[in-house]
A and B are shown apart, each in its own frame.
Chain A
Amino acid sequence: MNRSRSFSSSLPLALLFVLPLLGSLALMLASAANLGAWVAVFQHPQLWGGLGLSLFTGITATAIAALVALLIAASFFERGKDTTLARGLSAMLAVPHLAFAIGLGFLIMPSGLLTRVIAMLFTGWTSPPPWVTTHDPYGLALIVALAVKESGFLLFVLTNILAREDMRQSFAAQKAAAQALGHGTLSIWLRLFLPQLWAQLVWPLVIVFVYATTVVDVALVLGPTQPPTFADVVWSDINSAHVADAARGAVGAVFLALITGLVIMVAAAVGWVLRPALKLWLTRGPSPLALPLWLGLAKWRGLQLFFGAVLITLVLLSVAQLWPFPQLLPEHFDASAWRQVAEHSAPLVLSLMLAISTSLSALLLLVLWFETLPQTWDRAMMIMSLVMLGLPALLIGLGQYQMFLRFGLTGTGLGLFLAHLMPVVAYMFIMLEGPYRALDPRWRDVSRGLGAGRIGFLTRIKWPMLKAPLLASVAVGFAVSFGQFVPAQLVSAGRFSTLTMEAVTLTSGTNRPLAAAFALLLMLPPLLVFLGAGLFGRARWRAA
C-alpha cells in the first residue's frame, strides 16, 4: 500500500478522533501553566479530604470489582458454564453507570425497597431507620455502585479471554498437569492462571481505577458531600461562573489526572519490588486448597439480584403515587411521571439520535480503517484509544470544551456529536481490533478462488462471519454514547440537554418518580440494543 493511500485512509479517524484527542490534551496541559490556579488548588479547603475520598473509593471499588470478577469467572470456567455467564453479562454492561447509581440510591435509601424487605421479614420497623445510606461520609454507597458495575466490566474482559479456544485448551491441560503435581484449584488459579492472565488484565484494571477515582455523575448521585470526592470538587469549580474558580477547576482536573497516574506508578513499583517474593511464592510447593466455587456462583447470583432489585425499585418508584413505609408495594399507582417524560421527550430523542449516529459512524470509520490500513497501524490507534479511556473524562472533557470553543463548536450539534463520538470510537476499536484482524486470511483466498470480488467477499463472507463482534461493538458504542455526561454537559453549553444531563439534574430534586422514570429510560434503550445484538449476532451455524 502506498503512503498517500494510507494517509488518506487514516484521515477520517485522524480528524474525528486522534487530532481532537491530542488537541484536547495539549490545551489542558497549556491551561495547567497557571501558577495562580495551582496555588488556589492547594489552598482549596476540600482538596485533601476530597482527594483522600477519591482514592479510597477508587482503590476499594477496583479491588472489590477485581476480586468479585475473578472469583465468578473462575467458578464458571471450572464448571464449564461460560455461556450462561455471557448472557447475563450483556444486560449488566448495557445499564449505564448513572442509571444504576440512581436505582441503587433509591433501593438503599432509608425508605427504599431494601429496608422495606428487612422491616417486613425481620425487624418490623414502622418508620424508616435513621440511617445515612447515600451521600455517606466514607463513600460506601459510591463504592458499592462502582464495584458492582465495574465487576461486570472486568467479568466481561475475563470471560472474553477465557472463552478463546486456545486459552481454554491450554488452561485445561495445565490444570490437569498441576493437579497431577498435587495442586488444588485455588492454587492453580493463583499460581498458574492469574499470572498468565495478568498482562491482559492490567489495562482494564487501570481503566476501572481511573474511572472509579475520577467519576463525576455517579459521585454526584451517591457520593459524599462534606467534602465531596475531588472529582466533584473540580466539577463544581468548572461549572462556576467565576473565572478564577474555572481556572482552578481546570488545574484541579490536571492534578487529579497526575495523582491517579502517580498511584498507578506506585502500584507498578510495589509490584516490581514484590516480584521476587511473588516468584518464591509461586514455587513454594503444592497446596491442595480448592477454589470455593459456591462463593463465586453465590456472588454471581448476588450481582443478578442487585441488578434485578434496582430495576424493580425504579419501575415501582416511577409509578408510585403513595407508598407508605413499610409496604412492599405502593398503595396508589400513577403514571404522571411517564406523562411528563412523554411531554418532554426531547432529551430522549437527542440521546437516541446521538447514540445511533455515533455508534454507526464509529463502525463505518473503523471498518474503513481495518479494510484500508495495514495491521501495523493498529498499535498507534490502540494507544490513542487506551489514552482516551485511561485518562479521566474530566480532563478530556475539559480539553474538548476548550478546543471546541476555539473552533466555534461549543453549543453546536456537531460539537456534541464529536464529544460523544470520541469515547465511542475508543471502546469500539478496542472491541473490534482483535476479532477483525484475527479472521483467517485464507477465507479471502478461498472466496477469490470461487469467483467472489472484494465487495462480494466483504458482504457475503467476511462481515457475516464477523456479525457477532460487529453488532456487539455497536451495542457497546450505543451504551457508551447514551451514558456520556461530563463531555456532553460541557460541550452542550446549556443549549442541548441529553437524557443523562436531565437525570443528574433530577436526582438533586424531590420528584423521585420522575427521576426513576428517567433512570429507566437511560437503561432501556441500551438494554434493548444489547439484546438485539445478541439475538441477531448469533451464528446460524454450529461448529462441528
Chain B
Amino acid sequence: MSLVLRDISITLGTKVLVVPFSLAIGKGEIVTLMGPSGSGKSSVLSALAGTLVAPLAVHGAATLDGRDIFGLPAEQRRMGRLFQDDLLFPHMTVGENLLFGMARGQREDRLSAMRAALKEIELEGFEDRPPQTLSGGQRQRISLMRSLLARPAAMLLDEPFSKLDQTLRAQIRRNTFGLLMARGTPTLLVTHDIADAPEAGRVLLITPHGEVKDV
C-alpha cells in the first residue's frame, strides 16, 4: 500500500496557495504536514479526499496503490479521514456508527467484526450506547475505528488530537499511530503542533508562502 503525490499544488483562481510538491508515503508510514493556520494544510487533505470546494482547485497527480485517484468521486477513493471533531453520527448508536462504513456482507460476520473492533479499542460492550454519552477520547477512538473498519487504502488525519486534553492526547495519539502502523496504512497527518507528530516519522512544513519543505 502506498500513496504517491506528484507535483501537487493548490490554487485559488490565479493565486497559488500551495506550490507544487511531491511525496511518497509507504506502507504503514506516517508523514506529518505542519504549517501555520491558513497555509493550506487542510486543503491538501481535502484535495486528496475529493472534497475540495471550488474555487479552490488541485493540480498534479495522486496515485493510491498505483490507481489514479483524482478522477474518482470522493466515496470511491478509499481515503479514510479523521477530523478535529469526531463526527460520530448522532442518530446512530456506537455500533451502528461502526457498521456504517463496513463493507456489505453477512450480518453476523459484520457484527462480530464490529464487536472485535470495540474490544481492540477497549470499549467492549459499548455498541448500543448513543455517542452523546461518551467522553471525548472514547468518541475519537470510535471515530478512528469507524474509519479503519471501512478498510481505507490510506488515511488522512486532520488535527484529530487538537481538541483532546493533554493527558488523553498522548494516549490517543499512541493508540492511533499503533493501529495505523499495525494495519500498514499509509497516513498523512496534518497538525500545527509538533508534539502530535510520531517521533520517528518524516515531517514536512508548509511555509507562509506555500512552499513544502522537509524539516
A residues contacting B by CB (< 8 A) are 173-184, 191-192, 195-196, 279-280, 282-286, 288, 290
Contacts and interface: CB of A to CB of B under 8 A. Distances in A.
Nearest to A280: B107
B150 A286 contact: yes
What 8 A-B pairs are tightest by C-beta distance, nearest first?
A181-B101, A285-B104, A283-B99, A180-B81, A179-B74, A177-B87, A181-B150, A179-B75
A180 B99 contact: no
Given A179-B49, A180-B74, A288-B75, A283 B96 contact: yes
B50 interface: yes
Contacts, number: 88
19 contacts: A175-B51, A178-B100, A179-B49, A179-B51, A180-B152, A180-B156, A181-B75, A181-B100, A181-B101, A182-B101, A183-B100, A184-B73, A191-B100, A192-B89, A279-B96, A282-B100, A285-B102, A288-B75, A288-B76
A177 B74 CA distance: 10
B101 A183 contact: yes
B56 to A, nearest CB: 13
Contact of B103 (A176, A184, A285): A285
B158 to A, nearest CB: 9
Interface of B: 46, 49-51, 73-76, 78-81, 83, 85, 87, 89-92, 95-96, 99-105, 107, 110, 146-147, 150, 152, 156
B103 A286 contact: yes
Nearest to B50: A179
Contact of A182 (B78, B83, B99): B78
B45 to A, nearest CB: 10
B167 to A, nearest CB: 26
Contact of A177 (B73, B78, B83): B83
Given A179-B74, A182-B78, A285 B99 contact: yes
A176 B74 CA distance: 8
Max count, chain B CB within 10 A of own CB: residue among A175, A180, A286: A180
A182 B150 contact: yes
Contacts of A179: 49-51, 73-75
B101 A286 contact: yes
Contacts of A175: 51
A87 B89 CA distance: 32
B75 A173 contact: no
B194 to A, nearest CB: 26
Given A285-B105, A286-B101, A174 B87 contact: yes
